[in-house]
Amino acid sequence: MTTTLPDETTHHHGYITDKDKYLNRLKRIEGQARGISKMVDDEKYCIDILTQISALTSALQAVAIGLLDDHLKHCVVDAARAGGDEADAKIKEATDAIARLVRS
């Protein structure tokens, strides 16, 4: 039986060092979303619900910006060092992700 060692070139996502931070933040965001749903169910004042939706949106945007920053610092930089088609693909991927964030 042969034992396979992990490939030293295996790529880890840039956010991996902050994975717990992201997961905790997403759990809080999930709780905020449930809270908004409860506010609607309890027929709370519209402006109060909108305020909470704004806070939820800001929290999601902060996570998105953090992930994008990690992606640029790790995945895109690594691909740029490698050059060629991989670099072009990662830069386009990042540009497309930024465009989606800007539209939202």
Round to whole Å and give the CA distance between 95 and 87. 12
Between CA 39 and CA 80 the distance in angstroms is 47
Q: In the chain, which residues have pLDDT < 70?
A: 1-12, 14-15
pLDDT at 6: 39
Mean model confidence pLDDT for the chain: 87
At residue 17, the pLDDT reads 77
Residue 5: its pLDDT value, please? Answer: 37
Q: Domains of the chain (ranges plus CATH)?
A: 17-103 (1.20.58.1000)
**Amino acid present at 55:** A
Give the whole-angstrom CA distance, residue 81 versus residue 11. 14
